[in-house]
Amino acid sequence: MAEEKKKKIFNSESAHALVSELRKTFNTGKTKSYEWRVSQLKNLQKLIEEHEKEIIEALQTDLAKPEAEIHVGEIGMLKSSLKTTLKQLRNWMMPEKVKTSMTTFPSSAEILPEPLGVTLVISPWNYPILLSIDPMIGAIAAGNVVVLKPSEVAPASSSFLAKYLGEYMDSSAIRVVEGAVPETIALLEQKWDKIFYTGSGRIGRIVMSAAAKHLTPVVLELGGKCPVIVDSDINLQVATRRIIGGKWACNNGQACVSADYIITTKEFAPKLIGSLKHEIEACFGTNPIESKDIARIINSNHFDRLSKLLDDEKVSGKIVYGGKRDKSCLRIAPTILLDVPEDSLIMNEEIFGPLLPILMVDKIEDSFALVTSKEKPLAAYLFTNKNKLKDEFVSTISAGATVINEVTIHLAVHTLPFGGVGESGTGSYHGKFSFDAFSHKKAVLYRSFAGDASVRYPPYSNGKVRMLKALINGSILGIILALFKLSKD
Amino acid sequence: MGTMMDLDQSLVELRQTFRSRRTRSLEWRKSQLQAILQLLRKKEDKIFNALHQDLGKHPIEVYRDEIGVVEKSINHALSCLEKWMGPKKTRLPLVFFPASAQVLPEPLGLVLIFVSWNFPFSLAMDPLIGAISAGNVVVLKPSEHAPATSSLLSETIPLFLDSKAIKVIEGGAEVCEQLLQKKWDKIFFTGSQRVGRLIMSAAANHLTPVTLELGGKCPVILDSLSNLSEIKLAVKRIVGGKWGSCNGQACIAVDYVLVEDRFASVLINSLQRTIEKFYGKTLDEYQNLSRVVNKHHFNRLRSLLDDPLVAASIVYGGSWDEEKLMIQPTILLNPPLNSELMTEEIFGPLLPIITVDKIEESIDFINSMPKPLVIYALTKNEAFKKRILSETSSGTVTFNDILIQFLCDALPFGGVGPSGFGRYHGKYSFDTFSHEKAVLQRSYWFELEARYPPWNDFKLKFLRLTYKFDYFGLILLMLGLKK
């Protein structure tokens, strides 16, 4: 019986039936109520609380993630997101009153958030629990029904989500569809009211094309090469540790906001490399490839991809630290490369792994042109104490986020929108931005039958023109003058 | 103009201008907005002429819907621009101390604006104002179906605005296709759903974000009103909202009316009288009415009346003049719901009236159709208003008036579902052409050891407490007092 269930194909027909069923649920209005939303969010809290052990197991199976990283990067983030959402939800659901001008006097206006309807969340393999549930929190908070398609590349996490979301959540409104490319295509053929996708630019294009057929709005959380510009006038130890925290202690570089590459001056590079070597060993021991405190590479495909980057003849001789690989346990040691050429493979794709190239410039200011010559990344990082450099960095570099003297922690700040620009994506979420991403903000204008301006209607006259001009420009004086002239007609 | 090379050269020049950062300064943006004001003042007569040529619009309609709205948008933008451009500080939880966070708007870069033919001047200028306010460089593609306005824009914009930052590219479908092959940082489109899909598909190739201002069938729910003067006013507003703005060819025009059966004949009579007062009685007399834009749409509208069941439902009007491209304001009573008239956006001077037993049934009726750009509800029943708001979905809901929400800069203007996504007007115009960049700054002191491997139980406990923002627990832990 269980075998039969597993073999059941999820095709276009199944996807269509699923969407119809969820749309029926949505149309009953059940998911719009505050009580329903809160109950589902609280169920998520319970799920995470009661099955923390299973979450850790799944993530260690899929990625060998260290427990501390799981608590910081997945469980902790979700708990904090749920807490914020439950606390603020009532506020977020309330209409926002807006001021109207003389032009529409007398009137009152407000903006009313409402759910979009049937939403699809497609999540990636690198933070498979966080990046599935966090967008769902936004969708549910905004009153939608949701289908989650977790990544098949993280199968233990995918099973976890299918099992426990099935048990804890209202299955008439929230469903998980496991599977790979065929299932994803079947889902993308359907008409959704919103699609939220986290992953690569290549698939992002496919998602947006599919969405275009139904005029479905999308949020695309993509990636990019997040640069770290390192000035010389800094607290080197703290900066180095933060870089390590944002690279190898961050899913082993397999994160959309990981430090991808470093730019520093020719003069400072040796000091930086020395510091990195020292601090890497302080964090991971003298043989970092064996450290249990680093996640492994997700699978052999990615292992091979990363190996290719190291085998590229353009970077031969550029490795200054690390380089060890072990395919049997899918591990590559924290590796630093110095002065790789611009046209090497490693500088032309998002690394998403434990390799850290360092590029050198004469003056630190030259690093900005280097960054702006590439596609806009999800985040750009700068370590410096110089205020002028900070200002120039923020105003010159376009990225999802610009962060100074830190790496990756901006994700944890729920009052900042988290999203990309250009190739790194469109739309944003976290905190209230999640609620907004899954809402339609309906404009409402209240007028009455009192006070109609006959100037609005034909037949037209010069007096009417004057009055109309004054009304449209909201000019009280103009209206008074026009009234005078009007009365003389 | 029109060769691929010319286009490529223009784009190279625009990107160079953007990289030079000239468009970032408040001064440049203000100077461009003021230049548009100059254009409006100095070329007002030419604007009237062009719109009269393209659509037969009366100068007052032109002032109200094309010139006046643009003036208003510019004045609003000029007075708010500095504020809009400034960073917005955001709160940070204590655990991040010391740090500062803010959201900083920045221009997206190279923007493409497609203009529709029905308000060929204001639907070019209004988005342009947003794009300029946000500091972008722009290509404006006016509609080839409003050729006089297209020429006017092409001639006058380079005279008044920075021609290395703002360009007008005229042309038809072929030019659109060429434009869509290029990489843009934002595309803003006003028009039909069909073309909206094509635009979004093309944009997907470059992951270009889009705003789609589409259309739909905007209903009027007409509830019973208590006295004659209110009824008269409601009818005036319906007539003005149907035929008064580009003769029904507007995305927010009244498409059809829902009313209780018992009021239908009063409504029809009242509509008739008002139509004749505003516009005249016969095709020859009509003043103050725009014409249908071209033969293609004229034929489309006429063929809606070909269906014999539809023709049988005509209670007023129904005649046309092919040469003048005029169709009489026409009222139909309960045409078949599966006719094209009732399944497609009308975009013309035909007004179906659909009757229901009780006005509350309008809600189900509206929900059986795709989400429209606006729902108009003429009612004084507060409970009914609440139901409309919570049980229907549309871009906007306007109570007791029609079209006027367009003038309210504090309200976002845009659709939902098939009526589009994204929004503009007022600050929303600035936002739609901006990227809101998150900026976080920390310093080096107050470093937390627990953030880094090698991991141990203490660090784990520390991190758990941090994520709960359990500051007291953290203190206890650090003092060795928490188990």
Q: Are residues B8 and B39 in the same domain?
A: yes
Write the pLDDT tens digit of every residue in A396-421: 999 999 999 999 989 989 999 999 99
d(CA B411, nearest CA chain A) in Å: 6
Q: Is residue B471 part of a domain?
A: no
d(CA B397, nearest CA chain A) in Å: 5
> CB-based contact (8 Å) between B444 and chain A?
yes
Q: Is residue B146 part of a domain?
A: yes
Q: Say if the Cβ atoms of B467 and A80 lie within 8 Å.
A: yes
Comparing CB atoms, the residue among A98, A116, A465 nearest residue B63 is: A465
Q: Is residue B287 part of a domain?
A: yes
For residue A472, which amino acid is it? I
Q: What is the mean pLDDT of residues A125-147?
A: 98
Of B414, B447, B477, the position where a domain reaches its end is: B414
Q: Are residues B191 and B232 in the same domain?
A: no
Q: Is residue B109 part of a domain?
A: yes
Q: Are residues B431 and B354 in the same domain?
A: no
Q: Are residues B193 and B316 in the same domain?
A: no
| pLDDT score for B462 | 83
Q: Is residue B461 part of a domain?
A: no
Comparing CB atoms, the residue among B64, B240, B438 nearest residue A410 is: B438
- The answer to whether A425 touches A378, Cβ cutoff 8 Å, is yes
Q: Are residues B166 and B226 in the same domain?
A: no
Give chain A positions within 8 Å (CB) of B412: 111, 441, 443
Write the pLDDT tens digit of every residue in B379-411: 999 999 999 999 999 999 999 999 999 989 999
CATH number at residue B234: 3.40.309.10
Q: Say if the Cβ atoms of B244 and A457 lie within 8 Å.
A: yes
| pLDDT score for B482 | 59
Write the pLDDT tens digit of every residue in A85-100: 999 999 999 999 999 8
pLDDT in tens, chain B (483 residues): 446 779 999 999 999 999 999 999 999 999 999 999 999 999 999 999 999 999 999 999 999 999 999 999 999 999 999 999 999 999 888 778 788 999 999 999 999 999 999 999 999 999 999 999 999 999 999 999 999 999 999 999 999 999 999 999 999 999 999 999 999 999 999 999 999 999 999 999 999 999 999 999 999 999 998 788 889 999 999 999 999 999 999 999 999 999 999 999 999 999 999 999 999 998 888 878 999 999 999 999 999 999 999 999 999 999 999 999 999 999 999 999 999 999 999 999 999 999 999 999 999 999 999 999 999 999 999 999 999 999 999 999 999 999 999 989 999 999 999 999 999 999 999 999 999 999 999 987 767 777 888 888 888 888 877 777 777 777 777 777 655
Predicted confidence (pLDDT) at residue A1 exceeds the cutoff of 60: no
For B241, the closest chain A residue by CA position comes to A457
Catalytic residue among A74, A226, A250, A256: A256
d(CA B309, nearest CA chain A) in Å: 31
Structural domain including B208 reads 4-214+425-436
The number of folded domains in chain B is: 2
Comparing CB atoms, the residue among A415, A421, A460 nearest residue B58 is: A460
Binned at pLDDT 50, 70 and 90, residue A4 comes out as very low
d(CA B442, nearest CA chain A) in Å: 6
From residue A167, alpha-carbon distances to A54, A171, A238, B311 in Å are 14, 8, 44, 57
> CB-based contact (8 Å) between B73 and chain A?
no
- The answer to whether A238 touches B444, Cβ cutoff 8 Å, is yes
Q: What is the mean pLDDT of residues A63-84?
A: 94
| CA distance linking residue A297 with residue A329, whole number of Å | 9
> CB-based contact (8 Å) between A201 and chain B?
yes
For B75, the closest chain A residue by CA position comes to A473
Q: Say if the Cβ atoms of A293 and B394 lie within 8 Å.
A: no
First to last CA, chain B: 77
CATH number at residue B135: 3.40.605.10
From residue A258, alpha-carbon distances to A248, A304, A431 in Å are 9, 20, 21
Chain A residues 266-285 within an 8 A CB cutoff of chain B: 283-285
Strand partners, A426: A220
Active site residues of B: 213, 251
Residue A63, both tokens: 């990625």
CA A395 to centroid of chain Cα atoms: 22
Q: Are residues B224 and B201 in the same domain?
A: no
For B231, the closest chain A residue by CA position comes to A449
Q: Is residue B105 part of a domain?
A: yes
| pLDDT score for A486 | 53
| pLDDT score for A367 | 97
| CA distance linking residue A148 with residue A207, whole number of Å | 14
Q: Are residues B78 and B184 in the same domain?
A: yes
Q: Is residue B477 part of a domain?
A: no
Q: Are residues B26 and B147 in the same domain?
A: yes
Q: Are residues B250 and B190 in the same domain?
A: no
The residue count of chain A comes to 489
Q: Say if the Cβ atoms of B455 and A111 lie within 8 Å.
A: no
Which residues 6+ apart lie within 8 Å of A192 measured at CB?
A19, A118, A119, A120, A211, A214, A216
CA atoms lying within 13 Å on the CB side of residue A347: 20
- The answer to whether B416 touches A440, Cβ cutoff 8 Å, is yes
Residue A340, both tokens: 């790789």
For the CA atoms of A156, A246, A336, B452, what is the dihedral angle to 10 degrees? -90
3-class SS letters over chain B: CCCHHHHHHHHHHHHHHHHCCHHHCHHHHHHHHHHHHHHHHHCHHHHHHHHHHHHCCCHHHHHHHHHHHHHHHHHHHHHHHHHHHCCEEECCCHHHCCEEEEEEEEECCEEEEECCCCCCCHHHHHHHHHHHHCCCEEEEECCCCCHHHHHHHHHHHHHHCCCCCEEECCCCHHHHHHHHHCCCCEEEEECCHHHHHHHHHHHHCCCCCEEEECCCCCEEEECCCCCHHHHHHHHHHHHHHHCCCHHHCCCCCCCEEEEEHHHHHHHHHHHHHHHHHHHCCCCCCCCCCCCCCCHHHHHHHHHHCCCHHHHHCEEECCCEECCCCEECCEEEECCCCCCHHHHCCCCCCEEEEEEECCCCHHHHHHHCCCCCCEEEEECCCHHHHHHHHHHCCCCEEEECCCCHHHHCCCCCECCCHHHEECCECCHHHHHHCEEEEEEEEECCCCCCHHHCCCCCHHHHHHHHHHHCCCHHHHHHHHCCCCC
Comparing CB atoms, the residue among B59, B196, B460 nearest residue A67 is: B460
Q: Say if the Cβ atoms of A413 and B423 lie within 8 Å.
A: no
| pLDDT score for B295 | 97
Q: Nearest CA to B420 among B211, B264, B230?
A: B211
| CA distance linking residue A248 with residue A283, whole number of Å | 10
Q: Say if the Cβ atoms of B404 and A445 lie within 8 Å.
A: yes
- The answer to whether B480 touches B458, Cβ cutoff 8 Å, is no
Q: Say if the Cβ atoms of B410 and A100 lie within 8 Å.
A: yes
| Optimal mutation site among B40, B225, B452, interface A, most CBs of chain A within 10 A | B452
Write the pLDDT tens digit of every residue in A269-293: 999 999 999 999 999 999 999 999 9
Q: Say if the Cβ atoms of A72 and B400 lie within 8 Å.
A: no
Q: Nearest CA to B466 among A75, A186, A311?
A: A75
Q: Nearest CA to A275 among A383, A136, A393, A187?
A: A383
| pLDDT score for A485 | 64
- The answer to whether A373 touches A396, Cβ cutoff 8 Å, is no
d(CA A133, nearest CA chain B) in Å: 17
Q: Are residues B147 and B53 in the same domain?
A: yes
| CA distance linking residue A349 with residue A164, whole number of Å | 36
Q: What is the mean pLDDT of residues A20-30?
A: 97
Q: Are residues B223 and B210 in the same domain?
A: no
Q: Is residue B129 part of a domain?
A: yes
Binned at pLDDT 50, 70 and 90, residue A451 comes out as low
CB pairs under 8 A between A and B: 286
d(CA B424, nearest CA chain A) in Å: 12
The complex scores an ipTM of 0.95
Give chain B positions within 8 Å (CB) of A423: 207
Chain B residues 188-227 within an 8 A CB cutoff of chain A: 193, 196-197, 200-201, 203-205, 207, 209, 212, 214, 225
Give chain B positions within 8 Å (CB) of A467: none
Q: Are residues B169 and B243 in the same domain?
A: no
Give chain B positions within 8 Å (CB) of A395: 24
For the CA atoms of A197, A201, A204, A205, what is the dihedral angle to 10 degrees? 170
Give chain B positions within 8 Å (CB) of A77: 467
